[in-house]
């Protein structure tokens, strides 16, 4: 259903353990508004990034000064890395939101195990 409208029905968070690091994963669950039991999801992992603003870090001759920077917590979408079935992104029929979230949690754990194995 290409032009289906989706409503954000719930937001969940679980911890992703990557070696010694724990990062929150935000799970956004959407439900189709046409009355069906179709769900889709977007997953985000939080990470710290050092940012260097371009214009404030440039000297008169264009040299890179790296004087100003900030460490920011940013969310990176990881849906396509975790979910190998496009239906979870495009919309999939499930009995309930709880069953859909349980399936997503299993996929996040599988993703975590794959990363930790490498």
Determine what percent of the chain is predicted with pLDDT higher than 90.
41
- Domain contains 63: no
User: Number of folded domains in the chain?
Assistant: 1
- Domain contains 23: yes
- Domain contains 53: no
Per-residue confidence at 42, pLDDT binned at 50, 70, 90?
very high
Tokens 């993703």 -> residue = 111
- Domain contains 109: yes
Range of the domain at 104: 6-46+74-117
Residue 117 or residue 71, greater confidence: 117
Per-residue confidence at 41, pLDDT binned at 50, 70, 90?
very high
- Domain contains 105: yes
Secondary structure E strands in the chain: 6-18, 21-32, 38-51, 70-77, 92-93
Per-residue confidence at 13, pLDDT binned at 50, 70, 90?
very high
Q: Is the pLDDT of residue 1 over 60?
A: no
d(CA 89, CA 79): 8
pTM of the model: 0.77
Q: Is the pLDDT of residue 69 over 90?
A: no
């Amino acid at each position: 259903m290409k032009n289906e409208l989706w409503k954000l029905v719930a937001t969940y968070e679980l911890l992703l353990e990557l070696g010694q690091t724990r990062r929150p994963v935000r799970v956004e669950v959407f439900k189709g508004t046409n009355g069906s039991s179709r769900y889709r999801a977007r997953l985000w992992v939080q990470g710290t990034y050092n940012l260097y603003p371009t214009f404030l870090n440039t000297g008169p001759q264009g040299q890179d000064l790296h004087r100003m920077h900030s460490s920011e917590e940013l969310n990176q979408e990881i849906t396509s890395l975790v979910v190998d079935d496009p239906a979870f992104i495009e919309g999939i029929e499930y009995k309930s939101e709880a069953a859909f979230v349980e399936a997503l949690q299993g996929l996040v754990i599988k993703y975590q195990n794959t990363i930790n194995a490498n």
